[in-house]
Amino acid sequence: MHAALHCHGRTRHSEHNMKNIVSRAFCTFAVLGLSACAHQPTPPASGASAVTPVTKAAEAWSRLPPDVLVACRGVLISTGAGRFNEAVDLSRQCLASQSLTVEMRAAMLLQLAVVETIRKQPAAALDAEEAGVALTPAPADLQLLMLAQLYVANLRYKEALDTLDRTRAAHEPKQDLNNILGTPYYVARGRALGGLGRHQEAIDAATQGITIQCASAEAYRLRAAEREAVGDAEGARADYVAFARWATDPTIDETTRAKLAALKIDPASERRHPFGSDNPLRDLSAHALSTAQLSLKAATTQQQKAKAYSDISAYLDNSNRHQEALKAIDQAIALAPDDIAFRQSKITTLVALNRLDDAISQATPLVAKMQGELVGAADAKAVYGRYNELTVSLAWAYILKQDWAKGIELLADNAQGAAPFDQDYLASTYLYVRVRSGGSAPANAYFDDYIRRNAQPIPGNYRRWLLLYMQGRVPIDMVYAQAVTIPVPEMLENALAETWFMAAAYERYVKHDDAAARAYVGRINDLQPYGTNEWGLVTRGAV
């Protein structure tokens, strides 16, 4: 979490994309209400609309005959467990039922296509996906994208390109192709163009995909191969380096691994520094600090000066210059002693300096003020929101002192004023505190209810996947696959810090694998994610 508040010879294409395909299918089935997390429809939050698309879908599946439902659900469970032959058998049992609606049958055919792809049976995968698309009067984007990818895997490049053109045409009126399909569309298009010998167009497609998603390993691998095809050895090598930085080890096939070795590119070494010599968060803080210092020079009123000092303090904190940050925030408070935002910021700085008792002492009147405002408040969420920096910083002060109960209570206070995206991470932090405490930390009704109600994965939301990971429901590679879709480098670096921190915690406190935990800690230290709680916590032995 960013403490401050305050991207740069061929194998069959079907072998390149397994993790992404499985992840995408898992998301699809969650939306359809058939995921392993959806064995029973999840009741809505209090005050929420009574029926959601997910609960509707789950209810539709639940009306199937019991033996059919077991077979259909078993497909995803077996796939997730790596029992792919079993998943194929269960798919056939499920599809043999006459009880499936058209939507259900198309979904199961999509899942069968995924499993056959993993089994390296591209022809069987294509047969399944073509059947699913033929069933659907208006095929979904995911169906058509999968169909195009399978045409490529079967070397039917013209049909792949035609399918992608069909998809693009459907998005022309709203000009939303990049937002809806993004990089996977351009990677599929690039592969089809490359297969047709249109190498420069393939390079252009891959470049467009990288523009959208700077951490797309597949886009870099595609562009590297296409640059080789046009004789651009230097450009190809640069792209192979970028590929090595962002690819997970299981996604590097033998042919690509041999290519990397021939180029003297070591994936394990490159992976340690995915941004190369750049550090997006450090550079962001340095630029913002410079801007704040200029604002101070230009300030003409006491209020403007106080705001500038506060900004300077925040960006000094983000630059790991905490003692200077403390001086700056004290100057801001001296100019505006009644500004509660400035006083909350000081708590953050004191925690960063490991002056935990001072932070708790100085937070006491602010906590009392918040609690007073909550009494009879018409909008408690707004009150919690006004004190969000106080509650999260104070929570960490107590957690670092191993006062688990107070830490969890404050995390819950923070969550009640936070956006859903932040609530997911706070819930993961709650799970971290509980496992770190060895079972001595108390359960919290707010978080337990939140976790129960938010059991479905959300495509592209790595924090929801982190929450599922901390419950042992998905592997860390699936969390990573969501994180690397983030287009903004600074946000991506922050996401990696959170992902590796939770992975280190899970390995140490749940799996009791200290070597694996140390490896993830090493990744955070190599990343050097300036301004994140996670890097600061790692330096204090929090995992």
pLDDT digits (tens, 9 = 90+) for 88-104: 999 999 999 999 999 99
Q: What are the C-alpha distances in Å from 117 to residues 61, 86, 101, 153, 506?
A: 25, 14, 24, 9, 31
Q: What is the mean pLDDT of residues 66-92?
A: 92
Q: What is the DSSP letter of 419?
A: -
Predicted local distance difference test score (pLDDT) of residue 82: 85
Q: What is the mean pLDDT of residues 440-456?
A: 97
Report percent pLDDT > 90 for the chain: 85
Predicted local distance difference test score (pLDDT) of residue 47: 36
Q: What is the mean pLDDT of residues 321-349?
A: 98
Predicted local distance difference test score (pLDDT) of residue 18: 41
Predicted local distance difference test score (pLDDT) of residue 48: 37
- Whether the CB-CB separation of 253 and 246 falls below 8 Å is answered with no
**Residue 543 to residue 541: CA distance in whole angstroms:** 5
Residue 53 has pLDDT above 50, yes or no: no
Superfamily of chain region 13-227: Tetratricopeptide repeat domain (1.25.40.10)
pLDDT band at 42 (very low <50, low <70, confident <90, very high): very low
pLDDT band at 61 (very low <50, low <70, confident <90, very high): confident
**Residue 328 to residue 6: CA distance in whole angstroms:** 13
Nearest to 309 by CA among 285, 281, 335, 286: 335
- More reliable by pLDDT, 241 or 19: 241
Cβ neighbour number for residue 10 with a 10 Å cutoff? 15
Predicted local distance difference test score (pLDDT) of residue 15: 44
Q: What is the mean pLDDT of residues 187-205?
A: 99
Q: What is the mean pLDDT of residues 167-190?
A: 95
Predicted local distance difference test score (pLDDT) of residue 243: 99
- More reliable by pLDDT, 333 or 61: 333
Predicted local distance difference test score (pLDDT) of residue 46: 35
Q: What is the mean pLDDT of residues 65-77?
A: 92
Q: What is the pLDDT of residues 140-174, one digit of tens each?
A: 999 999 999 999 999 999 999 999 999 999 999 99
Predicted local distance difference test score (pLDDT) of residue 222: 99
End-to-end Cα, the chain, rounded Å: 15
Report which residue type is found at 198.
R
- Mean pLDDT across the chain: 91
pLDDT band at 56 (very low <50, low <70, confident <90, very high): low
Predicted local distance difference test score (pLDDT) of residue 9: 37
- Whether the CB-CB separation of 328 and 315 falls below 8 Å is answered with no
What's the token pair of residue 389? 């920096």
H runs (alpha helix) in 154-279: 157-171, 177-180, 182-195, 199-212, 217-229, 233-246, 254-262, 267-271
What is the dihedral sign for C-alpha 499, 505, 506, 511? positive
pLDDT band at 79 (very low <50, low <70, confident <90, very high): confident
Predicted local distance difference test score (pLDDT) of residue 147: 97
Contacts of residue 172, defined as CB under 8 A and 6 or more positions apart, other chains included, come to none
Predicted local distance difference test score (pLDDT) of residue 59: 73
Q: What is the mean pLDDT of residues 172-194?
A: 96
Lowest mean pLDDT: which of 19-33, 34-48, 67-81, 475-489? Answer: 34-48
Secondary structure (3-state) at 2: strand
Report percent pLDDT > 70 for the chain: 90
Residue 459 sits at φ, ψ, to 5 deg, of -55, 130
Predicted local distance difference test score (pLDDT) of residue 3: 54
Lowest mean pLDDT: which of 72-86, 325-339, 450-464? Answer: 72-86
Residue 441 has pLDDT above 90, yes or no: yes
Q: What is the pLDDT of residues 488-533, one digit of tens each?
A: 999 999 999 999 999 999 999 999 999 999 999 999 999 999 999 9
Predicted local distance difference test score (pLDDT) of residue 533: 94
Lowest mean pLDDT: which of 7-16, 97-106, 108-117, 455-464? Answer: 7-16
Q: What is the mean pLDDT of residues 265-274?
A: 97
pLDDT band at 76 (very low <50, low <70, confident <90, very high): confident
Q: At what angle do helices 141-153 and 102-118 cross, to 10 degrees?
A: 30
Residue 39 has pLDDT above 90, yes or no: no
Residue 467 has pLDDT above 60, yes or no: yes
Q: What is the pLDDT of residues 282-316, one digit of tens each?
A: 999 999 999 999 999 999 999 999 999 999 999 99
